[in-house]
């Protein structure tokens, strides 16, 4: 396990504690003692991972901050300007989403070779599954046995192999070192026509922006389909790269997340810290 992953676990535990005990306003000394670190070391670890102090980071996980971001962001503006802005161009270059054919899916992966691998990231262990066509599943790991069995049951006729590939290395370089690949990362996923519309709309939300389920519904021309949009977002097979974590409730509450709502808070806050940190040299995703 690399240091950034260890840092994530320490910070995740601390953030969860503060969110549950916010009224007590636990200070730096107390939080450091909880994770068996000195206050100096805890603050240093936090800054290495997040780029800001614990106090600054906590501001990013509040409903007040989320509501302000919703006012400042507009998925509609982002949608209509796509291709005109640096953000839109970057997404066009960085992610290439291709729909799996219904035939391939119904055959349960017959004739396909699926490679899988688990690797650490800034936000926890990731389970990655790919074919020669692209990434088919990317998810934060809960239980390896449960998660890999779920995917294998979806493609029972595929040939399954554990191991690395050039495509896997691109993903690891990105998740572990924030290195944007020189060529697009292909995603090869199965979904209904409606789900694919929703997932493509998610790709248009820039890093640091948030939108609501209603915004996404409006952006695909079905403003009354907010519940269906929520269901489609919950079925997103590609964690982080298809940024369903950037969709929250109109109230400013962060809402659910198939890979743990607290992880969603952490990712949103981390992205905010990358945008606001004076030493920010990260790339937009």
The residues assigned a catalytic role are 244
Helices (H), the chain: 3-20, 28-34, 39-50, 54-59, 63-72, 75-81, 86-94, 102-106, 144-154, 166-177, 193-202, 213-219, 226-234, 261-276
Neighbours of 179 (CB within 10 A): 12
Closest C-alpha among 275, 285, 265, 280 to residue 60: 265
Closest C-alpha among 108, 63, 28 to residue 265: 63
- What is the rounded CA–CA span in Å between residue 243 and residue 225? 19
- What is the rounded CA–CA span in Å between residue 83 and residue 99? 21
Sheet hosting strand 113-119, strand order edge to edge: 95-99, 185-189, 134-140, 126-131, 113-119, 159-162
- What is the rounded CA–CA span in Å between residue 128 and residue 164? 10
Beta partners for residue 238, in sequence order: 138
- What is the rounded CA–CA span in Å between residue 40 and residue 29? 9
**8 A C-beta contact, residue 197 and residue 242:** no
């Amino acid at each position: 396990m690399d240091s950034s992953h260890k840092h994530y676990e320490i910070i995740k535990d601390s953030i969860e504690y503060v969110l549950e005990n916010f009224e007590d306003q636990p200070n730096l000394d107390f939080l450091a003692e909880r994770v068996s670190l000195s206050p100096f070391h805890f603050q240093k670890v936090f800054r290495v991972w997040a780029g800001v102090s614990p106090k600054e980071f906590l501001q990013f996980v509040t409903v007040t901050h989320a509501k302000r971001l919703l006012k400042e962001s507009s998925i509609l503006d982002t949608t209509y300007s796509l291709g005109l802005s640096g953000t839109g161009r970057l997404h066009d270059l960085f992610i290439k989403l291709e729909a799996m054919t219904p035939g391939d899916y119904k055959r349960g992966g017959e004739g396909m070779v699926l490679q899988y691998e688990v690797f650490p990231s800034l936000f926890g262990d990731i389970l990655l599954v790919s074919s020669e066509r692209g990434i088919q599943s990317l998810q934060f790991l809960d239980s390896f046995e449960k998660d890999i069995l779920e995917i294998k049951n979806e493609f029972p006729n595929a040939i399954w192999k554990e191991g690395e590939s050039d495509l896997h290395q691109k993903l690891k370089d990105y998740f572990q070192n924030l290195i944007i690949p020189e060529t697009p990362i292909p995603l090869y996923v199965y979904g209904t026509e409606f789900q694919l519309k929703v997932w493509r709309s998610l790709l248009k939300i820039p890093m640091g922006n948030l939108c609501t389920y209603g915004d996404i519904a409006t952006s695909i021309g079905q403003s009354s389909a907010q519940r269906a949009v929520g269901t489609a977002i919950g079925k997103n097979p590609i964690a982080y790269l298809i940024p369903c974590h950037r969709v929250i409730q109109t109230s400013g509450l962060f809402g659910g997340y198939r890979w743990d709502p607290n992880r969603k808070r952490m990712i949103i806050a981390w992205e905010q810290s990358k945008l606001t940190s004076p030493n920010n040299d990260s790339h937009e995703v």
